Amino acid sequence: MKKFLLACAGLLFALSVNAAVGVAGAVAVGIPPGVGVVVINGISFASGLCGGFIPYNTLGAGLYTEAWTGFMSKAFRTDPAALGWYNKIRSFDQYAENDVIHFVNIGGDPTVLVNNTTYPLDIENLADADKPISLDKYQTKPTRITDDELYGLSYDKKATVIERHGEALNEKKYSRAIHAISPAENTAGTPVILTTGDPADGRRILTRSDIIRLKKSFDKLKVPSDRILVLCADHVADLLDTDQKFANQYYNYESGKVLKLYGFEIYEYNDCPFYNASTLKKLAYGAAAGASDMQASIAFCPVRMMKATGSVKTYAQEAAASPTTQENLISFRAYSICLPLKEEAMGAIVSAKAS
Q: How confident is the model at residue 122 (pLDDT cuts 50, 70, 90)?
A: confident
Q: Are 44 and 292 in contact (CB under 8 A)?
A: no
Alpha-carbon gap, residue 11 to 6, rounded angstroms: 9
Alpha-carbon gap, residue 284 to 175, rounded angstroms: 12
Residue with more model confidence, 92 or 118 = 92
Q: Give this prediction's pTM.
A: 0.74
Q: How confident is the model at residue 111 (pLDDT cuts 50, 70, 90)?
A: confident
Alpha-carbon gap, residue 295 to 272, rounded angstroms: 7
Condensed to tens digits (0 to 9), the pLDDT of residues 35-63 reads: 555 555 555 555 444 444 444 444 443 44
Position 95 pLDDT exceeds 80:
yes
Alpha-carbon gap, residue 329 to 146, rounded angstroms: 8
Give me the chain's average pLDDT, please: 80
Contacts for 129 with CB less than 8 Å, ≥ 6 apart: 104, 105, 107
Condensed to tens digits (0 to 9), the pLDDT of residues 133-191 reads: 889 999 999 998 888 887 776 667 777 888 889 889 989 999 999 999 999 999 999 99
Alpha-carbon gap, residue 12 to 216, rounded angstroms: 65
Position 33 pLDDT exceeds 50:
yes
Q: Are 162 and 140 in contact (CB under 8 A)?
A: no
Residue with more model confidence, 205 or 4 = 205
Q: State the pLDDT at residue 47.
A: 46
Instruction: Report the C-alpha dihedral over residues 294, 252, 85, 171, rounded to 10 degrees.
Output: 70
Alpha-carbon gap, residue 300 to 89, rounded angstroms: 10
